[in-house]
Amino acid sequence: MADADDRLRARGTLKTLSDGTSLPPTARATVAVLTVQSGPEAGRVLALETDRLNTVGRADECTIAIADARLSRVHARVVWVNGEWMVMDSGSTNGTFLNGARIEKYSRLEDGDRITLGGSLSLRFVLVTEEERRALVRVYEASMRDGLTGVLNRKALDERLAGEVAFAVRHQTALSVVLLDVDNFKRVNDEHGHLAGDAALREVSARLARALRTEDVIGRYGGEEFLIVARDIQLGQGAQLAERLRALLTASPVVFEETRIPVSASFGVASLACCGAERDVEALLGLADARLYEAKRAGRNRVVARDETAG
């Protein structure tokens, strides 16, 4: 029995109390989760629910949606049946694997099992307490979020953009980006102080995030610049989105310690359709950055969605 306990501890599936008593996972855990082990969302914690069919895939309607072009729309299912967790493939293109073996119908899950979707995306099935789940979520959020504004940080943003571009190119769907720069931000810092500048960036990012769709992505691109990635949006729709956001920012000032600070931003919009043969991240961002520059050169507080230097 001692040897068996030692093997479980080595796998991380047996916990020991302060008095030396060993508890199996089912005696201590209240929550089953999947943790993403690879890809742009590595570290993400996905809670499983016992009273519903948990579907995993790239489709927005999945209960666990993962933005990965290598997944089928509904790739796999995880369900609680007769006191056990089971994983099933949903007729995916590239298959579902449990600990390296392809699942033909369904397989029972045990604490620590590794699930691979599409031959590349790796998930780990783990039994944890609610306190442990919250701790895992906090660690993941800290690694993904910008410390000041709470939107995606540059590393997470770059990874998400790369995934969205790969998906759009592979499936020939629309994708647009909106690159914006808060106007005259140095003046805010100089006239009101850096705390006021920080407050302005937090408020700008919050207004932008609240105005976006669930499937849109926003991140801090650098300094006072933000990038929005809009799935299934053509250039004209991206320009409309940018104009709506521009008007939203100018509609009311940021209030900091009873000081009202007017804010505006300049916007550059680009879509994959604008990129010609070079349909990649570099070409897309290059166009958006050039159009942002044109918006600033033309007087700021405006949207540019085409080459203003062209005839």
User: Of 39, 3, 259, 20, whose CA–CA distance to 144 is shortest?
Assistant: 39
* Helix residue spans in the chain (DSSP H): 2-11, 25-28, 130-144, 154-171, 185-192, 194-211, 235-250, 281-297
Cβ neighbours, 10 Å, residue 137: 15
- Clarify whether 224 is annotated catalytic: yes
Question: CA 157, CA 178: separation in Å to the nearest integer?
Answer: 13
The residue annotated as part of the active site, out of 164, 224, 225, 294, is 224
List all residues 6 or more positions away from 7 whose beta carbon is below 8 Å from its beta carbon.
none
The label of the residue with tokens 């062209």 reads: 310
The label of the residue with tokens 């620590």 reads: 112
> DSSP code of 100?
T
Residue type, 112: G
SS (HEC) of 136-175: HHHHHHHHHECCCCCCECHHHHHHHHHHHHHHHHHHCCCE
Question: CA 255, CA 250: separation in Å to the nearest integer?
Answer: 13
Residue type, 74: V
List all residues 6 or more positions away from 212 whose beta carbon is below 8 Å from its beta carbon.
218, 228, 230
Residue type, 246: R
Biggest CA–CA distance in the chain, Å, is 81
User: How are the residues of the chain apportioned to helix, strand and coil, as percentages rounded to the nearest 5?
Assistant: 35, 30, 35
Catalytically active residues are: 224
